[in-house]
Amino acid sequence: MNRTIRLCCAFALGVGILAALGSETDVPPEFADVRKLIRQEIAEGGAPSIAVAVVKNDRLVWAEGFGYADLEARRPATADSIYLLASVSKPITATGLMVLADRGKIDLDKAANDYLPGPKIRANRGSEREITLRRLANHTSGMQVHYNFYYDDVPPLSHDEVIRRYGIAHTEPGSRVEYCNLAFGILDYITEIVSEMPWREFMEQTVYDPTGMSHTSDRIRPGLEGQGTVQYQFDLSGKLIRVPPYRFDHNGASAIWSSARDLSRFLRLHLNGGIVEERRLLKEETARSMQKVTAAPDPKKTDAGFGIAWAVGSVLGHAFFEHTGGMPGVATRVRGFVNDKAGFVILINASGGDLLGKVTDGLTRAVLPDWREEPRKTVTKEPARENPDPFLGEWKGALEHWDGAIPMVLTVAGASAVTAKFGQRPPAQLREVSFANQILKGQTRGLLRTQEGFHGPVTIEFALSRAGEELVGIGVAKAEGYFALCHGVRLMKVPSEGIGKPKN
């Protein structure tokens, strides 16, 4: 290779690296620090790529991509690269639902079961009639943790089958926030039923296209395949490994793809009360109602409550609405400061790092004119009171599995002596047992029928509280990166005089 060719190759490589790190064209000076941070993090391997967009006073003032949308192909990310959104899908799904509310097609305070044609949501605590559309949308339905990722072309369950298996409220509807993906899977199903259109078609025709979100759907749209990102995770050595494609049984919660530029339009829509560039999608009162807290926060966990899909809180006196997303190969955030008429979008095609938090802090500095370093709060928590006494003894009942109840015996002999016996299997010692806040927690491993495409053992995590002579709660079957699936547990106290007596 002669010197001229080598110089040309070096120049081309340098241009490629600079392009991947981001172009400096038309970047407002207030974003210099966060831009420097992003470039440094990408150069040091903190993520394969990140795309950001910032809006102020109903204008897109900065949008840029950094790094590689596809590491193997060395394809640079841009503000139009299409990222999987994870839970940022939820406010988008809810926006489609609110279009139907504006049209008088649904009533948010009506029971969700009134819209379901097949299996209905059940309630182990409280009443099914109290599981309304609003409570599905603000995470107070009583249903609990649920995620289900299907790899290797395993087909997801139908809506009806998911509801039959897992559509169960394990806490009283309306009593507290229990974040639940399944609630939004049910809302996308109800949207489809009420609109009499496939959910994808309804969302594309009614939400995305009217607001100019041409790069948004629960798929990468035909003709845009070259702009899709690949998802990655960090392995134990810190290397980025490719995440294989996966699907969901809760599309409305997790399955939407979009770009930073498209989401800047979505953010403007909600900052402006349902209108973007003279295109009104929602009535102003409808859009504002999505940002009104109807589910109060748990002060032990967060200072943000929930409206319709949006988490609502404040930072340094600046009110915001937002949603974050995280799952294998995904870290995302959309945040709007409603009184400041500003906000930002962050999209990352990797999970397992801390870049999302760093960029959130940097963009907050840039968009809030009076931002200052928030003093670190010293939180003194009372130590959890471990008291096994209310749980001592033997408890018999069942783990409520969709394929039939599984007989279960729980024996509590002391703080570190808790066993669980299922069916005819020998008793197994529970691990990581605690008795804090009047709730018995512990876990075991074993085979349990869960997702059709998964055949290994699962971890079952129990959370049981005493209600008179009963222990009631849940057993969550978990396989990291695959699923977390809730099963009800109900056990009755065995009278002490019957324990240890010789059998006749």
* CATH number of 454's domain: 2.40.128
Q: Mean pLDDT for the chain?
A: 91
Task: Indicate if the pLDDT at residue 331 is higher than 60.
Answer: yes
- Give the range of the structural domain holding residue 395, as residue numbers without chain letter: 389-498
How many CB atoms lie under 10 A from the CB of residue 477? Answer: 22
User: Is the Cβ–Cβ distance between 306 and 295 less than 8 Å?
Assistant: yes
| CATH number of 239's domain | 3.40.710.10
The answer to whether position 212 is within a domain reads yes
Task: Indicate if the pLDDT at residue 408 is higher than 90.
Answer: yes
Predicted confidence at residue 353, as pLDDT, reads: 86
Predicted confidence at residue 301, as pLDDT, reads: 60
Predicted confidence at residue 317, as pLDDT, reads: 86
Predicted confidence at residue 296, as pLDDT, reads: 84
Closest residue by Cα to residue 22 from 81, 66, 54, 61: 66
Strands (DSSP E) contained in 86-202 are: 122-123, 147-150, 168-169
Residue 305 and residue 261 share a domain = yes
Residue 355 and residue 408 share a domain = no
User: Is the Cβ–Cβ distance between 363 and 264 less than 8 Å?
Assistant: no
Query: pLDDT digit string (tens) for 175-219?
Result: 999 999 999 999 999 999 999 999 999 999 999 999 999 999 999
Structure tokens at 67: 């790094």
Residue 329 and residue 472 share a domain = no
Query: pLDDT digit string (tens) for 89-102?
Result: 999 999 999 999 99
The answer to whether position 353 is within a domain reads yes
The domain boundary residue, chosen from 367, 399, 421? 367
Residue 276 and residue 160 share a domain = yes
Residue 442 and residue 309 share a domain = no
Greater confidence (5 vs 142) lies with 142
Residue 288 and residue 341 share a domain = yes
Residue 235 and residue 137 share a domain = yes
The answer to whether position 67 is within a domain reads no
CA dist., res. 233 & res. 25, Å (int): 30
Query: pLDDT digit string (tens) for 13-26?
Result: 333 444 456 554 57
B/e letters for 318-340, b = 16+ CB within 10 Å, e = fewer, are bebbbbbbbbbbbbbbbbbbbeb
CA dist., res. 420 & res. 411, Å (int): 6
Task: Indicate if the pLDDT at residue 3 is higher than 80.
Answer: no
The domain boundary residue, chosen from 310, 335, 367? 367
Residue 490 and residue 359 share a domain = no
Residue 422 and residue 355 share a domain = no
SS3 468: coil
Q: What domain count does the chain have?
A: 2
CA dist., res. 256 & res. 260, Å (int): 13
Residue 447 and residue 358 share a domain = no
pTM: 0.91
Residue 99 and residue 212 share a domain = yes
Torsion-angle region of residue 278: left (phi > 0), alpha (psi -120 to 50) or beta? left
Name the pLDDT band for 500 (thresholds 50, 70, 90): very low
The domain boundary residue, chosen from 333, 367, 401? 367
Name the pLDDT band for 240 (thresholds 50, 70, 90): very high
The answer to whether position 379 is within a domain reads no
Closest residue by Cα to residue 195 from 94, 113, 103: 103
CA distances from 313 to 165, 263, 349, 497 (A): 34, 20, 26, 53
The answer to whether position 110 is within a domain reads yes
The answer to whether position 280 is within a domain reads yes
Cα dihedral across residues 41, 42, 45, 51: positive or negative? positive
The answer to whether position 39 is within a domain reads no
The answer to whether position 132 is within a domain reads yes
Residue 398 and residue 341 share a domain = no
